[in-house]
Amino acid sequence: MTITGLLPIGSVVLLKDSTKRVMITGVCQEGTTENGTKLYDYVGCAFPEGYLSADQNYLFNNAQIDRLYAIGYQDEESLLFKERVDELIVQLRAERGEE
């Protein structure tokens, strides 16, 4: 699946090689890897359970999404936010030498 830009919070997706759906709860997230830190498009939680604990959140990118089940709530404020964050995440990745 090809996605341009970020999906809104509340969107429900299935990640590749997964059987459990994930609901997006945040965007432009930093996570720790073996090589330091990495910028991810999203953080999410299990769906339909919701947030269970900090160690049960999932960091992932658009390229990892296999299927989109639902698009989260969008209004004027969220669309303006999306535009700014779409630009910011490209800039941050360029500065870090990521994807």
Domain locations along the chain: 12-96
Other C-beta atoms closer than 10 Å to the C-beta of 65 total 22
Please state the rounded mean pLDDT for residues 60-72: 95
pLDDT in tens, 3-48: 778 999 999 999 999 999 999 999 999 888 888 889 999 999 999 9
Query: Residue 97's pLDDT is what?
Result: 87
Q: What is the pTM assigned to this prediction?
A: 0.88
8 Å CB contact between 19 and 54: no
8 Å CB contact between 11 and 23: yes
Query: Measured at the alpha carbon of residue 55, what is the angle toward residues 49 and 60, in degrees to the nearest 5?
Result: 80
Query: Residue 1's pLDDT is what?
Result: 65
Query: Residue 35's pLDDT is what?
Result: 83
How high is the mean pLDDT of the chain?
Answer: 92
Query: Residue 2's pLDDT is what?
Result: 67
Closest to 24 (Cα-Cα) out of 5, 3, 8, 40: 8
Closest to 6 (Cα-Cα) out of 56, 80, 57, 99: 80
Query: Residue 50's pLDDT is what?
Result: 94
